[in-house]
Structure 1
Amino acid sequence: MTLPYGFAKGKITSAPQLKPTQRPHEVQYHLHFGLDVGGAQWDVAVNVGTTDADDLLKYKLLFDFRHAMLQTLQADASGEQNLTGQHALPALDFQRSDFLANTGAWRNSDVMDGTDAVEPVATLQRLLLRAQQSGYDVYVYGRFYSEGNGVHDVHMNQGSKGEFIHRAGNDRNDHNDIWQDGALLVDVGAPQWALYVAAFDQQYLPTDDLGNPTADSKPIA
């Protein structure tokens, strides 16, 4: 079953806060902030890293991002755009589209230590504070909360193994999918846009039509 996916466009209403989530073998960290989405208050949870040195986050954080799709996003009114089941831009698929063409290499995140001094937390937090103070439009791609207004899984959502393998007819709330990758974009004033995307070391490409790693897949370079 395809999971609820899309993006929310709005303006930041609260300063980002770093929050931990305990997993079986690690602590994952997210930057949470409030977003006014067409008059409704949304919670946003952006993945920024983990304490597991064997499954660190890879990320790209650009301040000069350019893509033809940005004009489409800019024309949209503030609100929620449901892209569930769409297999073309403006839905995002890092493997099946040119969205990340010419964006350079992936960077390795620091091992998270619970502070906001590590990367990408420090730089991303400065960007979000600037967006809040300047009233910039913010676009958050990911999966929508099953209860309440919010968006999470703001990272690549394909290529994982183990419990995340997608099996046809599976209605679990967390599994691989194609055309469901997450991202954060900030319109910082024409022609500049900022972009943040992330994936975990233990996600693999290429993927099949369900978003699962193929037999010849390899970790993101």
Structure 2
Amino acid sequence: MPLSAYGVLIGTLIRFAREDPNNFRSWYHGKLYVEAPVGEYECAVDVSTPSGVPVQYREVRNLSPDLFASVSGLPAGWHALARTPTSGALDYLRSPLVSGGGCFAVVASPLVDLVNAMLRSPRFGWIESTADNALDRLELRLANCRRVYVFGAPYNTGRGVHDIHMNQGDPPGQFQHLDGIWQDGATIIETANGELNAFLTKFKTQSLATDDNGLPV
């Protein structure tokens, strides 16, 4: 059974904050506060857990504007997204936007194509989070932010977004019943010059190979 709700919040970053590392609940977050037409949203990005399950993060730079057009063309606010390849939903393993779109080099050649494909591979570039290293990287990218797109699930109470991480591939346990494809969370940052960069997170226990139900294979 997938997440009960999924979508994207589009708006303007008001501020970024870090939870007190000595006083937080089940997970440690960086908090984005985003202005939308109905008011301010809180967006909680997981970067550490007290359970000992490591969190990993990666960046995907220079996303293709064409592949993101179905979302970037939406107005500011919260938008529910169908869990399909054409709705604008994200899937770390299947979405061309974060697993195959864009490029890192401007000179076309077979070698460059190969390097770009490796860099875009969902299996490449994951860094284990110490909390600070992930939040330092996210805060650096947000410093040049014109518009932000936060993918995940809406809060049950109040205005906010959580589950801003991979939402598939969990091992058997308390979270596997939430797994599904085309429902991954992420923060996509549009810079002042129009560049699109994605900040992705996952738990180290989540598999990077899943079936059509989002379960590990």
Could you state the TM-score of these two structures normalised by the residue count of structure 2?
A: 0.77
Q: Which contiguous aligned blocks of 4+ residues in structure 1 show a shift greater than 6 angstroms?
A: none
How many angstroms does 1:74 deviate by? 2.4
How many angstroms does 1:52 deviate by? 5.9
Query: In the alignment, which residue of structure 2 is the partner of 1:77?
Result: 75
Separation in structure 2 between the aligned mates of residue 195 and residue 40 of structure 1, nearest angstrom: 24
Higher share in strand: 1
Work out which of the residue numbers 172, 176, 186 in structure 1 matches 2:189: 186
Q: Does the Cα contact within 8 Å between 2:62 and 2:196 map onto a contact in 1?
A: yes
1:127 aligns to 2:130 (yes or no) = no
Amino acid of the residue matched to residue 91 of structure 1? A
Structure 1 stretches lacking a partner, 5+ long: 113-117, 167-174, 215-221
Structure 2 stretches lacking a partner, 5+ long: 101-116
Query: In the alignment, which residue of structure 2 is the partner of 1:201?
Result: 204
Higher share in helix: 2
Superposed CA RMSD? 2.3
Equivalent residues in 2 for 1:35-184, closer than 5 Å: 35-50=34-49, 55-99=53-97, 100-101=99-100, 102=117, 103=120, 105-112=124-131, 118-131=132-145, 136-161=146-171, 162-166=173-177, 175-184=178-187
How many angstroms does 1:163 deviate by? 1.3
Could you state the TM-score of these two structures normalised by the residue count of structure 1?
A: 0.76
Q: Does the Cα contact within 8 Å between 1:15 and 1:129 map onto a contact in 2?
A: no
Q: 1:93 to 1:63 in 2, by over 3 A?
A: closer
How many angstroms does 1:125 deviate by? 1.4
Query: In the alignment, which residue of structure 2 is the partner of 1:4?
Result: 5
3-state DSSP class of the match of 2:96?
coil
How many angstroms does 1:95 deviate by? 2.1
Q: 1:165 to 1:69 in 2, by over 3 A?
A: same
How many angstroms does 1:71 deviate by? 2.6
